[in-house]
Each structure stands twice: as structure tokens, then as C-alpha cells.
Chain A
Amino acid sequence: MAAGLLGLCTRRLLAAAATRGIPAARVRWESSSSRAVIAPSAVVGKRGPEPTTRWQEDPDTEDENLYEKNPDSHGYDKDPAVDLWNMRVVFFFGFSIVLVLGSTFVAYLPDYRWSRNLLALAVFAFFQGASPRSLDHLDLNAAQIEDRSKRAV
């Protein structure tokens, strides 16, 4: 039985060797206990060797080194003048205009929750009968932001 199993393993090895195109070992094994014979598979040699697995996903590129012709290249274009202006435009509009002006705008956005609470306070006071003049002297500290910790998480 062990010999039979050994034969099985050898058969699998030879089959695997055949499908993977590795030249099969030229062995012939004959069982002493049965009439089993393991010989190199007939299909060995019919399937060509597997091509070497390429390690690059994109192997056929011709890389152009932008630094060769223009050591001061910024990576935008081959033409040094266009490259320079592209870099300037990106830095000026991207950083100086959008990031600086944009973050200033966002930083100075009013706190609408506070102003809405103040308005609610004023309306409440008015309907409680407060005179319109006293609305000018509302306690600004009373316009608290709602205590969110008491809300459902």
C-alpha cells in the first residue's frame, strides 16, 4: 500500500511537472507489489515552458528623464519655460490664493449656533413681555451653546 501511495505521489509530481513545463525527471518506476508503472507523462514537452513572470506591470515604457535636458525641471513639462510657469501658477493659485484666502475665509465664518441661540433668546424674551428696548441689553453670556453632552450619543 505504501508503494501504491508512493506511486500516487510520483504520478502527481510528474503531472505537476508536466503542466508547469519543468522538464520531467526521466524516471520510470515499476511497482514490485502490483503491475503499476509510473512513467513520464506523454504530454511532457507538448506544453512549452512558462514565460518568466514579468516583475513590472508596465514593462515597455521608455522613460524620459526630465532632469537630463533641464536640471531645474519641476516635473510639469519638457519645455523649461512652460515648466517654470506651470510651477508658479500652481504655487500662486494653489497656496497663496486658495489656501491662504480660503482658510482666512473659513476661519472668519461666524458662529451661527451662537447667533441663532441669541435670536431664540431675544424672541423668547419678547414673547414673555419684555419691552423692545430691553432686548438691546440682553445678556450675551446667556446665549449658551446647547449642552450637547445631554443629548443622545
Chain B
Amino acid sequence: MLKIIIPTIMLMPLTWLSKKNMIWINTTTYSLLISLISLSLLNQPSNNSLNFSLMFFSDPLSAPLLVLTTWLLPLMLMASQHHLSKEPLIRKKLYITMLTMLQTFLIMTFTATELISFYILFEATLVPTLIIITRWGNQTERLNAGLYFLFYTLMGSLPLLVALISIQNLTGSLNFLLIQYWNQALPNSWSNIFLWLACMMAFMVKMPLYGLHLWLPKAHVEAPIAGSMVLAAILLKLGGYGMLRITTMLNPQTSFMAYPFLMLSLWGMIMTSSICLRQTDLKSLIAYSSVSHMALVIVAVLIQTPWSYMGATALMIAHGLTSSMLFCLANSNYERTHSRTMILARGLQTLLPLMAAWWLLASLTNLALPPSINLIGELFVVMSSFSWSNITIILMGANITITALYSLYMLITTQRGKYTHHINSIKPSFTRENALMALHMTPLLLLSLNPKIILGFTY
């Protein structure tokens, strides 16, 4: 793991010591090479996990998430180059340093063996994200957004710290590799019910669960492009990853404690998808779409069957790439019109036809068109939830329909129709933007050919 962590940490001195005109070139190059190295983790020969040391390991669940994390850094750097072009050099370097710090914490979080170490790094990811949102966001609402983001997550995760320390006392170890062999069921008692809640709430807030999701639209909308990308693509998946890990220790309470959260998620996916149909702000639409997709992941994780776990992992990777791409597309609109209102930048297909092609592909993957991995993830989740309870098919089916509706609504509003008079002087698409979209879409399409690497440890 050090072959990934140390180069990532060294991106920081690289940024500060690079010449003015080389900072973006250097950081983009080396972050792409780091993502190449991280692909080696997909080679999982053991049934169990790939153990690097006492502190780091990777298994078929964390490896794809890690590859996604390392892949996303160069994309974030490319996406940020334009809006930072007018900033002073020191601020550009600080921004890249924040992104690199966040990347380092995320890599270590996904590969941590020890749950306390996982917790510390999970919390540590909040700091650079908060700085990115509050310092480089565009509107004054970014301060409120930062507050919501920080305090929602902290309120959820402080009970987790208490719970982890209590479990450490009980079991003697919080190492993932050992805990999976801990076959002792938690006795049924009120304190263990609260323990279950304490363990799960942090990840529920992070996912986010409908009801605890208010921080997400604010944070996603107010964050600059790199902040939105990393929030949507990776930080939400931290919640899913945490839930997948911690539920191994929380039986048998999960079988009855999960019900209220399952109901909230099943209902919440319909609600948030419906809210998307009423959004005027493009980034807000994409943010609510993330809540809806993550609700599917929550349902999958709480059902706890092999297929649902496969669906959850596939959906996390697929949504990470799709959502990040949608934010990049929204940002390409924002950089031209300086407005996030959808109807103000409509009819773009006539003016920017290649960008319209990317919009089409992103919308189609968002609505889980076959044979994309989005469909594979959603299908596995729908099938396993049907097997759990037949009635869920009604809600799942409604969600799939409404997802298709708002994805097509977003596509048609931004691309079709007559363009407005104030945008006929917008600049053509840059190679940078087209490359960014291609670098999102190509892995997504390639994974459709070989999805087994993202199906997690129950494949």
C-alpha cells in the first residue's frame, strides 16, 4: 500500500516545488500514474483479502473503491483548472494540496484494517472537504453548506466512536481481519440496540439516508467542481463501505433494527427522485439524484444477501463515475453562463453537439440503461429486495421510472429545444472538457464488459 500512499503524499511537495506553469501538468501526470499502480490491487488471488501489513489490506470490496478514488484525483485536477486560472499561485497550490490531502485520507480509509484507524481517517476526510467547500465555493451560502456538512457528519459519527471503543473492550480487537471470525452474536439488550444505532448512524448520515440528507444538496451545490466530484463519487461511498464492514459485527440485531431504515430508504428513494423532477437548479437535481441512488445501496446493505452486496458494490462504483460526470457537465454549463438554473442554458445541442453526446451518455447511464454497470447494480438490488419482500418491487419499479423521467427531463431541458438568446455567444467546448468526459465514460463502458471486478466479495 505504501506504493500508493507515499506517491500520493509526495504530490504535495511536487505541487509546492513545481514551477508556475508546470503545477497542473506535473500533478495530473503523477496522479494518473498513481491510479495505474492502484489497478494492481484488483488482482485478488485470495478468497479472503490481500494483506499488505498489519495496518493496510484490500479485498474485493475496497479495491474497486480505491481505484475509483485514485482515478478521480486527475479528473478533479483537470476539472478545476479553469475556475482556478485567475487565482494567485499560492491559492492554486493550496487547492491542489487540499485535494491531495483528501486523496491520501481516502486511500488510507479504504484500506485501513483497524476500525479506530478507519474512524479517525473517516473524520479526517471532513477537514479538507470543508476547506474546499467554504474557501472555494462561489456563493455566500457555502458557509451554511459547510456547517451543515460538518455538523451532520460529526453528530452521526461521535456515537460511532463511543461504540467502537465499547466493542474494543468487549472483543479485544477491532481489526477487520479478526472480526470477521468473531462468530459471537451480540446478545439482545437495549444497550446493544443503542450500540447498533451508534454504529450505523454515522454511515447513514454519510450515505445519506433520506431524513438525514439535508446536508447533501447544500454541500454539493455550493462546493466547487472538484468538491462536488469527490463528494458525489467517493465520500458518499465511505458510508456504504462503512456499513458493509460494520454489519458483519452487528448480528442478530440487524435483522430487526434494519426495518425502519429500510422503510425510510424505500420511501426516500421515491421522494428524492420526485424532488428531482421539480428542481430548477441543475446541481441540486444531480445532488438529489445521488440521494436516490444511495438509498438503493442502503436497502441492499441492510438486506444482507450475496446478490444485494454485489448490487451495492456495483452501484457504488457506477454511481461514482456517473454522478461525477454529471457534475462536470453541469460545471461546463456553469463556466459559460455563470448560472446553475437549467432553463437558462437550454437548447445546447445545437451549439455544442459533442457536449450533447456526453450529456446523452451520462443521462443514459444515470437512468441505468443496459448494459451499463448502473443497470447491473440496480438490477441486483431490485432482485434481492424482491426476494426479501415482494411488495418492494412496486417502490423499486416506481423509482426506476422516476429516475428515467428526471434523467430525460434534465437531458431535454439542457440540450433540446431552441437555445436562449443570451447563450449564443458561448465558447465552444474545450479539449479539456471533452477529455474529462471521456475519462469518466470510458471506464464506465469498459466495466460493462468485465463487471466481475466490481461485484465485491460475494461474487
Cβ of A56 and Cβ of B338 under 8 Å apart?
A: yes
- Count contacts on A: residues with CB < 8 A to the other chain: 44
Q: Which of A61, A66, A101 contacts B430 (CB 8 A)?
A: A66
Whether A86 contacts B435 in the complex (CB less than 8 A), given A57-B339, A93-B33, A112-B44, comes out as no
* Smallest Cβ-Cβ distance to B447: which chain A residue: A106
Which candidate, B34-42, B242-250, B321-329, is the interface stretch facing chain A? Answer: B34-42
In the complex, how many angstroms separate the beta carbon of A6 from the nearest chain B beta carbon? 35
Which candidate, A19-27, A67-75, A121-129, is the interface stretch facing chain B? Answer: A67-75
Restricting to B326-347, which residues have a CB under 8 Å from any CB of A? 334, 337-341, 344
* Interface residues of chain A: helix, strand, loop or mixed (majority): helix
Cβ of B339 and Cβ of A74 under 8 Å apart?
A: no
* Smallest Cβ-Cβ distance to B332: which chain A residue: A75
Contacts of B169 in A (CB 8 A): none
Contacts of B86 in A (CB 8 A): 64
A38 to B282, CA, bound (A): 45
Cβ of B25 and Cβ of A86 under 8 Å apart?
A: yes
Q: Which of A64, A102, A107 contacts B85 (CB 8 A)?
A: A64
Contacts of B401 in A (CB 8 A): none
In the complex, how many angstroms separate the beta carbon of B160 from the nearest chain A beta carbon? 30
In the complex, how many angstroms separate the beta carbon of B121 from the nearest chain A beta carbon? 25
* Smallest Cβ-Cβ distance to A73: which chain B residue: B430
Taking Cβ atoms with an 8 Å cutoff, the residues of B that contact A are 21-22, 24-25, 28-29, 32-33, 35-36, 39-40, 42-45, 47, 71, 74, 78, 81-82, 85-86, 138-139, 305-307, 334, 337-341, 344, 383-384, 387, 427-428, 430-433, 435, 438-439, 442-443, 446, 450, 453, 459
Instruction: List 11 other contacts, CB 8 Å, given A74-B430, A89-B29.
Output: A57-B138, A58-B139, A67-B428, A76-B24, A82-B21, A97-B33, A98-B35, A99-B439, A112-B45, A152-B306, A153-B306
Cβ of A75 and Cβ of B439 under 8 Å apart?
A: no
Q: Does A44 contact B (CB under 8 A)?
A: no
Q: Which of A58, A89, A94, A97 contacts B439 (CB 8 A)?
A: A94
A152 to B387, CA, bound (A): 9
Contacts of A151 in B (CB 8 A): 306
Whether A94 contacts B32 in the complex (CB less than 8 A), given A74-B431, A153-B384, comes out as yes
* Interface residues of chain B: helix, strand, loop or mixed (majority): helix
Contacts of B305 in A (CB 8 A): 152-153
A110 to B45, CA, bound (A): 9
Whether A99 contacts B139 in the complex (CB less than 8 A), given A56-B339, A58-B339, A109-B42, comes out as no
* Smallest Cβ-Cβ distance to B33: which chain A residue: A93
Q: Does A103 contact B (CB under 8 A)?
A: yes
Q: Does A78 contact B (CB under 8 A)?
A: yes
A93 to B33, CA, bound (A): 7
Cβ of A77 and Cβ of B24 under 8 Å apart?
A: yes
One digit per residue, 1 when the CB lies within 8 angstroms of any chain B CB and 0 when it does not, for chain A 23-51 equals: 00000000000000000000000000000
Whether A90 contacts B36 in the complex (CB less than 8 A), given A59-B338, A77-B21, A107-B450, comes out as no
Contacts of A98 in B (CB 8 A): 32-33, 35-36, 39, 71
Cβ of A87 and Cβ of B338 under 8 Å apart?
A: no
Cβ of A105 and Cβ of B39 under 8 Å apart?
A: yes
In the complex, 13 of the A-B residue pairs with CB atoms within 8 angstroms, ordered by the A residue number, are: A57-B339, A66-B427, A75-B81, A76-B432, A78-B85, A90-B32, A93-B29, A95-B438, A98-B35, A98-B71, A103-B446, A105-B40, A153-B305
* Smallest Cβ-Cβ distance to B380: which chain A residue: A153
In the complex, how many angstroms separate the beta carbon of B207 from the nearest chain A beta carbon? 23
Whether A109 contacts B453 in the complex (CB less than 8 A), given A56-B339, A58-B339, A77-B21, comes out as yes
Cβ of B430 and Cβ of A75 under 8 Å apart?
A: yes
A79 to B307, CA, bound (A): 52
Contacts of B384 in A (CB 8 A): 153
* Smallest Cβ-Cβ distance to A112: which chain B residue: B45
Contacts of B29 in A (CB 8 A): 89, 93
Contacts of A116 in B (CB 8 A): 47
A112 to B40, CA, bound (A): 15
Contacts of A95 in B (CB 8 A): 438-439, 442
Contacts of B22 in A (CB 8 A): 82
Whether A153 contacts B36 in the complex (CB less than 8 A), given A90-B28, A90-B78, comes out as no
Contacts of A77 in B (CB 8 A): 21, 24, 81, 85
Contacts of B81 in A (CB 8 A): 75-77
In the complex, how many angstroms separate the beta carbon of A59 from the nearest chain B beta carbon? 7
Whether A87 contacts B431 in the complex (CB less than 8 A), given A55-B341, A153-B307, comes out as yes
Cβ of B85 and Cβ of A58 under 8 Å apart?
A: no
Whether A75 contacts B431 in the complex (CB less than 8 A), given A94-B439, A116-B47, comes out as yes
Cβ of A106 and Cβ of B339 under 8 Å apart?
A: no
In the complex, how many angstroms separate the beta carbon of B136 from the nearest chain A beta carbon? 13
Cβ of B39 and Cβ of A102 under 8 Å apart?
A: yes
In the complex, how many angstroms separate the beta carbon of A126 from the nearest chain B beta carbon? 19
Contacts of A152 in B (CB 8 A): 305-306, 387
* Smallest Cβ-Cβ distance to B21: which chain A residue: A82
Q: Which of A65, A110, A112, A153 contacts B387 (CB 8 A)?
A: A153
Contacts of A112 in B (CB 8 A): 44-45, 47
In the complex, how many angstroms separate the beta carbon of A83 from the nearest chain B beta carbon? 9
